Amino acid sequence: MDRRDVIALGGSAGAVGALKQLLRELPPDFAATLFVVVHVGALGKNLLAEIFAHHATISVKTAVDGERVLPGSVYVAPADHHLLVIDGVTRLGRGPRENLARPAVDPLFRSVAMTYGPRAIGVVLTGMLNDGAAGLADLKRCGGVTVVQNPADAAAPDMPLGALAATNVDYRAPLADLASLLVELTTEEAGPPVPVPDDIRFEVDIALGRQVDAALMTGIADAVPLSCPACGGVLSQIKNCPPLRFRCQLGHAYTSDILSAENECSVDEAVRVALRIIEERVTLSEKMADDAGRNGLQAAAAANRRRAEEMREHAETLRRAIVGKSLKVPAGEIHAQNLSPAAPDEGEGL
């Protein structure tokens, strides 16, 4: 019987340091294949593999599209591409962002689950928000083993906590114990094959960049009166949960936590725009009042001064709201902003 010999790891804030330690502690004869996704900006220079290689005793490289994977190797997702593994070959997908990120952790976990089933081990490391939670649950559905870094041990506990809430995780361990745990798990025999659900195959296709099939989307999700922050399209609620999550007709995907954080950013921006418009109206009303006064139109001047004072009060109310909000910015909102691309996409793979 096959052994568990494929490991998918994903993380965000604090994950680079965690992976350096983990790779340093794996033995030189470690025979499993590892795939790594860390949230990076769209314009990253793909230096992660080089950084990790300085700390690893096994081969580490940036994943290349179409390359057949080898045991005892680590493949790191490049910037602005989802890393997927299909039939033992690495594929770099330019599908839509998932959870505001490309590469995202969920697509990697799903593709590894689809290709390797019970041979797969999924590991969620430190990070903000909850990318990876849905993918880890899908890996579990395909018979894989699930591992989460202990949230109390994580630099950012959101991703481990999200994964624990989304599925019945098999192992939870501090970073210092993860290497030995993975060595032990890879010596064990994998379970019997498990049929891959159609919805997992469909979502892997989306990450590859294939056109979203509306009929298939209807089969896995129900339309809801919410709009996609990326494209403005209608969102559909994925039926298989937890975690609660959504996709639009172009394929952008969000957990409810990440969608909420992104909407918070949109609301904050809308309030700031409203403040600017009102302050401009105050200035205009004051100038109109001065002009009316110079022309002897005292009633018009008084009316414009009253209007300016009313607008000034509205502006002050908005300003207080903005200041109060800035004093208690949710951590998730900060991370959502960090995940946003440096520049908008053009054409394929919005």
Task: Tell whether 347 is covered by a domain.
Answer: no
Q: 135 lies in which domain range?
A: 6-185
Domain boundary among 222, 255, 288: 255
Residue 224 and residue 106 in one domain:
no
pLDDT in tens, 148-202: 999 999 999 999 999 999 999 999 999 999 999 999 999 999 999 999 999 999 9
- CA separation, residue 195 to residues 121, 123, 135, 140, 201 (Å): 17, 22, 16, 12, 11
| AA identity, residue 178 | L
The CA distance from 66 to 342, in Å, is 27
Count of domains observed in the chain: 3
The CA distance from 285 to 283, in Å, is 6
Q: How many percent of the chain have pLDDT more than 90?
A: 75
Residue 137 and residue 264 in one domain:
no
Residue 162 and residue 57 in one domain:
yes
332 pLDDT above the threshold of 50? no
Average pLDDT (213-232) is 91
Residue 160 and residue 293 in one domain:
no
The CA distance from 229 to 43, in Å, is 21
The per-residue pLDDT for 275 is 83
Q: Closest Cα partner for 10 from 103, 116, 119, 78?
A: 103
Task: Tell whether 191 is covered by a domain.
Answer: no
343 pLDDT above the threshold of 50? no
The CA distance from 84 to 299, in Å, is 71
The per-residue pLDDT for 350 is 55
pLDDT in tens, 121-134: 999 999 999 999 99
Domain boundary among 204, 234, 255: 255
When pLDDT is cut at 50, 70 and 90, the band that residue 344 belongs to is: very low
The per-residue pLDDT for 327 is 53
pLDDT in tens, 188-221: 999 999 999 999 999 999 999 998 888 889 999 9
Residue 131 and residue 73 in one domain:
yes
Residues 6+ apart with CB under 8 A from 205: none
Residue 27 and residue 127 in one domain:
yes
The per-residue pLDDT for 214 is 84
Task: Tell whether 346 is covered by a domain.
Answer: no
Task: Tell whether 25 is covered by a domain.
Answer: yes
Torsion (CA) 332, 337, 339, 340 in degrees, nearest 10: 140
Average pLDDT (320-343) is 49
Task: Tell whether 330 is covered by a domain.
Answer: yes
The per-residue pLDDT for 326 is 58
Average pLDDT (13-19) is 97
pLDDT in tens, 62-80: 999 999 999 999 999 999 9
Residue 230 and residue 269 in one domain:
no
| AA identity, residue 138 | D
- The CATH number linked to 52 is 3.40.50.180
Task: Tell whether 150 is covered by a domain.
Answer: yes
The CA distance from 333 to 257, in Å, is 10
Instruction: Give the Cβ contact number of residue 198 at 10 Å.
Output: 11
Average pLDDT (54-64) is 97
pLDDT in tens, 77-109: 999 999 999 999 999 999 999 999 999 999 999
Task: Tell whether 59 is covered by a domain.
Answer: yes
Domain boundary among 234, 255, 276: 255
Q: Closest Cα partner for 108 from 73, 59, 75?
A: 75
Residue 10 and residue 139 in one domain:
yes
346 pLDDT above the threshold of 50? no
Residue 152 and residue 25 in one domain:
yes
Residue 97 and residue 36 in one domain:
yes
pLDDT in tens, 291-310: 999 999 999 999 999 999 99
- Of 338 and 184, the one with more pLDDT: 184
CA 3 to chain centre: 30
Residue 104 and residue 152 in one domain:
yes
Residue with structure tokens 């302050």?
279
The CA distance from 337 to 35, in Å, is 26
Catalytic residues: 12, 39, 131
pLDDT, averaged across the chain: 90
Residue 235 and residue 269 in one domain:
no
> Quick check: pTM over 0.75?
yes
Beta bridge partners of 120: 6
Task: Tell whether 166 is covered by a domain.
Answer: yes
pLDDT in tens, 19-40: 999 999 999 999 999 999 999 8
